[in-house]
Amino acid sequence: MGFLTAVIMALGIAVFVLFRRTRKTASSTTVHSTIEGMRAVGDLSVFKVYTKEIVTELDHSWGDFGKKYLDWIYSSKKMAMIFEFEIEFRYDLRTRDFEIIETGPGAYILRMPPCFHEINIRNIEFYDEQRSRLLPWLLPDLLNSFLGAGFTEEDRNKLVSAASNHAKQRANAMIDKLSSEVEASAKQTLHAIGQSFGAQSLTFVFKPTGESRAHVSIGEQVRAAA
């Protein structure tokens, strides 16, 4: 009787240990598969900066046509240009560059893809110092005075392109300075997402900012003026 009892107890312990190991493995697999679900987030917006500047100096970013137009505005009409744009920092979690590496139960390394910068020109206006009023940057009267009746679609596109180039140059000057804040915001956001998926520890590896790419878009107000 004692021998039979010992055998039953041994079998019970073996089943219990096997159950614990199976449950632990299943739990780890479940967490990992759920962490992989982070890819479904797609484009993750982690940081946004909005800036407004008064353009007082013309540089090469405006191109010859843009500089000629704006220089004429400054010198002949005594107007100042107010330039508004925003930069949104995103990570595309669907790309293969986003890697999730399990280092232990509930612990992962996230190798981040390059940061993608969305640059949006929100508005461009001229401030008429003599009359203390704001004017659209492509006001027909100004264009007719500058170009006569020959203002074409190509001319308009040149001015819009010049504004886009200027926004990109200004944004690029800010991006490197903001990289640490962007990465800190990305960590905070992904930590919250990872914890909701059951991850206990996340370590991040970021790619250099220099590998990033930028996209410039034109806001509705600027399009309307154009």
Which sequence spans correspond to the domains of the chain?
Answer: 2-50+83-124+151-225
Helices (H), the chain: 2-36, 63-77, 140-147, 153-196, 220-225
Residues 75-86 as b or e (16 or more Cβ within 10 Å = b): eeeebebbbbbb
Q: Which of 112-116, 134-138, 177-181, 187-191 has the lowest mean pLDDT?
A: 134-138
**Confidence category of residue 149, pLDDT binned at 50, 70, 90:** low
User: Tell me: the pLDDT tens digits for 115-147?
Assistant: 888 888 888 888 877 777 777 766 666 666 666
- Who contacts 77 (Cβ-Cβ below 8 Å, separation ≥6)? 126, 128, 142
In the predicted model, what is the mean pLDDT of residues 181-188?
A: 94
More confident residue, 214 or 212: 214
User: Tell me: the pLDDT tens digits for 152-163?
Assistant: 777 777 777 887
In the predicted model, what is the mean pLDDT of residues 196-221?
A: 72
Above pLDDT 90, what percent of the chain? 18
Q: Which long-range contacts (CB under 8 A, 24 or more apart) does 188-192 make?
A: 189/44, 189/46, 190/38, 190/44, 190/110
User: Tell me: the pLDDT tens digits for 60-71?
Assistant: 777 777 777 777
Q: Which of 57-61, 93-97, 196-200 has the lowest mean pLDDT?
A: 57-61
Give the global pTM. Answer: 0.68
> What is the structure's pLDDT at 142?
66
> What is the structure's pLDDT at 113?
92
